């Protein structure tokens, strides 16, 4: 008897071991994003976490300072490569602010639509890849099929699936092709079917719910103090969405809802993202209707500072020939000054702070990267949690290396 | 009606007149240029003042004005973009920082969000933030020589090869 009791005592004895440091990344199969975690572990419990970013630093801001204002646009494609159009848009809108340009109505509708397609692609990647990294292959394939359809629409619109380079200073590259609305409506129907299929295998799935519910929680006050924006903040119950709160483009004229969560765990983040995809589809449909209603029209501002003159005039008029020559060799001159423009990207507030000295080269282009800033409070979400909770938390922060490290 | 940005600037001028060097609202962005030694005080005022409630530090970055045409003043500027999630308005605060000593007080105690943003500015511009809890490079590696976003850092400069660090 005495012997049995001592074994029982052993079982209940505190068996704390030495803390160990686990090095995870920078290229780990269960993270989509190149980042290194130094994790201090007590058994399987996370004691502390140091995040090391910068593996994809390519000197975005330095490169922007050495080209023309136009040459920076393709670099913005390579920030968040899931939603390149949104980065194009943020940058071009900031430069337009410096130039005090007002874009034509048709251009604004096209930009709104293209931006929502990009947001959809981003959320599909986030939700799809989250399943993959939690070891569920099938829902990932539903998500990726829907993303391919979205990217097919982007390709029809601007000629490239991913690095779209669609938005121009004062306009867009070109109008949508003939027959685009019909194709888009067909695709939207199919994307909705895929979202339904995805929902039916994931949202109520015990394995998925158990990994997400109650993990990665952080209070909304802490999120505000850490400047976290986007779906993470909305999942914690703060309805901050720049599309509603500081409307730009045509967001004041379209009907859509801003979903919010309650406790701000990973499951709330997932639900918010899924609902935002449905809202994006709604916005795209309204944009299609509006584009059909207003009919053909200019998609670029008629301003010789930023747009090339019509070809017919270039070939026949001396002034326009010179203007074209200068526009191609020098690029637009932007008046001296500074401007900050923020838009609601898929991850939160994407801001561009641009400074001009009045020349054809940007003096400074600062990108306020939501990926980096949303990642910062991650240790607070995970202290005391299990190592396995790191994966879904990191998935729903959706850090994109290209934008985080620039 | 006076817009919210001007109201914020006026309240700031009333409360801390000697901390503010200049104000403007170019392109509608309300901006206060403040004395570098008072920047944290200004930020704390904007965060706490009743009716302003700038509760979020949207962005913190720096700019190097070496060689900027017709400019006299300190070489660097540290730029803070604040957002009030309650009133949905923004204000920009700028503080000039000289080349020597390139340093300013840290805003981490006002907003913890400033932590990584200041590390990035330190990394890319070499501006030091006094009282920062953990001032390390953020994007580049320890052995990197120089601060690449300074205007006198040539884009083509090669860096020494660094072997594995274990």
pLDDT of A387 above 60: yes
Chains A, B: CB pairs < 8 Å: 96
pLDDT for B1 equals 44
> Per residue, what are the HEC states of chain B?
CCCHHHHHHHHHHHHCHHHEEEEECHHHCCEEEECHHHHHHHHHHHHHCCCCCCCEEEEEEEEECCCCCCCCCCCEEEEEEEEECCCCEEEEEEEEECCCCCEEECCCCCCCCHHHHHHHHHHHHCCEEECCCCCCCCCCCCCCCCCCCCCCCCCCCCCCCCCCCC
Lowest mean pLDDT among A213-217, A320-324, B75-79: A320-324
Residue A129 banded pLDDT, cuts 50, 70, 90: confident
- Tens-of-pLDDT digits for all 166 residues of chain B? 467 778 888 888 888 888 888 888 888 888 999 988 889 999 999 998 888 889 899 999 999 999 888 888 899 999 999 999 888 888 999 999 998 888 999 999 999 999 999 999 999 999 999 999 999 999 998 888 889 999 999 988 888 888 776 6
B149 within some domain = no
For residue A340, what is the domain's CATH number?
1.10.645.10
Report the percentage of chain A scoring pLDDT > 70.
98
Query: A337 and B56: CB-CB below 8 Å?
Result: no
Residue of A nearest to B79 (CA): A353
Query: A59 and B140: CB-CB below 8 Å?
Result: no
**A59, A238, A351: residue with CB nearest B81:** A351
pLDDT of A14 above 80: no
A16 within some domain = no
Residue of A nearest to B94 (CA): A338
Q: Which residues of B touch A338 (CB under 8 A)?
A: 26-27, 29, 31
* Global pTM value: 0.88
| For residues A10-22, average pLDDT | 78
Dihedral sign, Cα of residue B132, residue B134, residue B135, residue B137: negative
B140/B126 Cα distance (integer angstroms): 12
Give the position of tokens 């639509």: A113
Query: B155 and A63: CB-CB below 8 Å?
Result: yes
Domain that holds residue B51: 4-130
Q: Which residues of B touch A246 (CB under 8 A)?
A: 88
CB of A245 within 8 Å of any CB in chain B?
yes
> Any idea of the CA torsion for A107, A113, A119, A122, to the nearest 10 degrees?
-100
| For residues A301-325, average pLDDT | 84
pLDDT for A1 equals 46
pLDDT of A9 above 80: no
Give the position of tokens 């594995």: B164
A13 within some domain = no
A14 within some domain = no
B147 within some domain = no
Q: What are phi and psi of B22, to 5 degrees?
A: -160, 160
pLDDT for B61 equals 93
B166 within some domain = no
Q: Give B24 to chain A, closest Cα distance, Å.
A: 11
**A336, A351, A357: residue with CB nearest B58:** A351
pLDDT for A28 equals 81
Q: What is the largest CA-CA distance in chain A?
A: 108
For residue A112, CA distances in Å to A85, A89, A96, A286, B78 come to 10, 9, 16, 10, 33
Say if residues A175 and A233 touch (Cβ distance below 8 Å).
no
A165 within some domain = yes
**A227, A238, A405: residue with CB nearest B113:** A227
pLDDT tens digit string along A35-78?
889 999 888 889 999 999 988 899 899 999 988 998 899 999 88
Q: What is the DSSP letter of A351?
A: E
| For residues A223-251, average pLDDT | 91
Give the position of tokens 């916005």: A283
A213 within some domain = yes
Q: How many domains does chain A contain in total?
A: 1
Interface of B with A (CB under 8 A): 26-27, 29, 31, 55-59, 61, 63-64, 68-69, 79, 81, 83, 85, 88, 90, 92, 111-113, 115-117, 120, 124, 137-141, 148-149, 153, 155
Domain that holds residue A57: 50-405
Query: A225 and B112: CB-CB below 8 Å?
Result: yes
B55 within some domain = yes
Residue A268 banded pLDDT, cuts 50, 70, 90: very high
Which is nearest to B24 in space by CA: B34, B15, B14? B34
Identify any residues that bridge with A367 across adjacent strands, giving them in sequence order.
Answer: A352
| For residues A322-342, average pLDDT | 87
pLDDT for A233 equals 92
pLDDT for B92 equals 92
Q: Give A342 to chain B, closest Cα distance, Å.
A: 10
pLDDT for B78 equals 94
pLDDT of A5 above 60: no
A3 within some domain = no
| For residues A394-405, average pLDDT | 87
Residue of B nearest to A57 (CA): B139
Edge-to-edge strands, sheet with B76-84: B20-24, B31-34, B89-97, B76-84, B56-64
pLDDT for A279 equals 93
Say if residues A234 and A260 touch (Cβ distance below 8 Å).
yes
For residue B36, what is the domain's CATH number?
3.30.460.80
Query: A227 and B79: CB-CB below 8 Å?
Result: no
pLDDT of A80 above 90: no
**B88, B113, B153: residue with CB nearest A376:** B113
Q: What value does the mean pLDDT of chain A take? A: 88
Q: How many domains does chain B contain in total?
A: 1
């Amino acid at each position: 008897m005495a012997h049995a009791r001592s074994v029982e005592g052993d079982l209940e004895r505190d068996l704390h071991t030495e803390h160990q440091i686990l090095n995870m990344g920078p290229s780990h199969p269960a993270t989509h994003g190149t980042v290194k975690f130094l994790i201090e572990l007590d058994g399987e419990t996370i004691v502390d976490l140091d995040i090391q970013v910068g593996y994809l630093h390519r000197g975005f801001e330095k490169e922007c300072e050495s080209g023309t204002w136009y040459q920076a646009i393709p670099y913005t494609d390579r920030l968040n490569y899931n939603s390149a159009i949104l980065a194009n848009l943020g940058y071009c809108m900031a430069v337009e602010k410096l130039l005090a340009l007002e874009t034509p109505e048709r251009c604004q509708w096209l930009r709104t639509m293209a931006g929502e397609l990009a947001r959809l692609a981003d959320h599909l990647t986030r939700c799809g890849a989250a399943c993959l990294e939690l070891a569920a292959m099938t829902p990932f394939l539903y998500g990726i099929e829907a993303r391919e359809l979205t990217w097919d629409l982007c390709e029809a619109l601007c000629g490239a699936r991913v690095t779209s380079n669609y938005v121009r200073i004062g306009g867009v590259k070109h109008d949508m092709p003939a027959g685009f609305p019909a194709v888009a409506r067909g695709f939207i129907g199919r994307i909705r079917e895929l979202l339904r299929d995805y929902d039916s295998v994931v949202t109520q799935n015990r394995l998925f719910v158990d990994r997400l519910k109650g993990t990665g929680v952080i209070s909304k006050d802490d999120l505000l103090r850490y400047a976290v924006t986007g779906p993470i903040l909305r999942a914690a119950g703060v309805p901050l969405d720049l599309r509603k709160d500081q409307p730009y483009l045509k967001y004041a004229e379209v009907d859509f809802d801003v979903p919010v969560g309650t406790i701000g765990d990973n499951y709330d983040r997932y639900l918010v993202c899924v609902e935002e995809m449905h809202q994006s589809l709604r916005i795209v449909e309204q944009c299609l209707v509006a584009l059909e209603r207003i009919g053909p029209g200019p998609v670029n501002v008629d301003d010789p500072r930023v747009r090339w003159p019509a070809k017919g005039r270039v070939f026949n008029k001396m002034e326009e020939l010179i203007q074209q020559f200068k526009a191609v060799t020098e690029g637009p001159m932007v008046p001296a000054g500074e401007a900050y423009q923020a838009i609601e990207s898929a991850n939160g507030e994407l801001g561009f702070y641009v400074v001009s000295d009045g020349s054809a080269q940007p003096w400074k282009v600062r990108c306020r990267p939501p990926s980096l800033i949303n990642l910062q409070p991650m240790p607070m979400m995970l202290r005391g949690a299990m190592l396995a909770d790191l994966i879904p938390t990191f998935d729903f922060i959706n850090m994109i290396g290209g934008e985080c490290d620039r | 009606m006076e817009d919210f940005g001007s109201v914020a600037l006026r309240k700031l001028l009333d409360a801390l007149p000697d901390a503010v060097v200049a104000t403007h609202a170019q392109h509608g962005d309300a901006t206060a240029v403040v004395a570098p030694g008072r920047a944290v005080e200004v930020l704390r005022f904007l965060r706490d003042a009743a009716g302003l409630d700038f509760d979020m530090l949207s962005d913190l970055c720096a700019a190097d004005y070496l060689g900027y045409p017709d400019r006299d003043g300190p070489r660097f500027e540290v730029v803070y973009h604040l957002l009030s999630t309650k009133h949905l308005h923004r204000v920009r605060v700028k503080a000039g920082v000289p080349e020597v000593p390139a340093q300013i007080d840290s805003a981490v105690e006002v907003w913890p969000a400033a932590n990584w943003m200041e590390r990035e500015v330190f990394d890319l511009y070499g501006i030091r933030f006094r009282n920062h809890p953990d001032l390390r490079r953020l994007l580049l590696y320890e052995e990197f020589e120089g601060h690449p976003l300074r205007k006198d850092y040539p884009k083509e400069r090669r860096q020494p090869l660094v072997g594995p660090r274990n």
